[in-house]
Structure 1
């Protein structure tokens, strides 16, 4: 094989290697894009869950306050009817 043919052969192999590397880099890039998209979706879902949990805490606090008021009213009724010692 003469020098020019050898150079073309090596150049061809280098081009094939570069193309193969580009294929793998594109695949990696696509996978990273999917991971980022999934992570962003998880972030949105987590934010939604946090909002819902905060709403539940507010509901529980409201129910607790209502139960406290009912308990106070029941105590006054029991005292008025002499059901418990004053």
Structure 2
């Protein structure tokens, strides 16, 4: 009887180990995708900053800047 319980416990632990491995793999993928999104956000932010600077220069040239 103890042998059957031992095998059942090992089977359960193996299944649990497989699930943990899948969760770890999924987490790595999520982190990778998050890194890509952070890069894209940084690029968009930089572009908006440059557009803001260009707009300020145009406003100054046209005399539209707030005093």
The gaps in structure 2 that reach 5 residues or longer are none
Aligned residue pairs, count: 64
The CA RMSD measured in Å over matched residues stands at 1.3
- Give the TM-score normalised by the residue count of structure 1: 0.70
Match of 1:25 among 7, 13, 16: 13
From the CA coordinates, give the structure whose radius of gyration is larger.
1
Q: Which segments of 5 or more consecutive residues in structure 1 lack a partner in the other structure?
A: 1-12, 79-86
1:50 is aligned, of 35, 38, 54, to 38
Instruction: Provide the rounded CA distance (Å) in 2 between the counterparts of 1:59 and 1:26.
Output: 50
Structure with higher RCO (Cα < 8 A, 6+ apart) = 2
TM superposition score normalised by structure 2: 0.88
Alignment map for 1:7-86 (pairs within 5 Å): 13-75=1-63
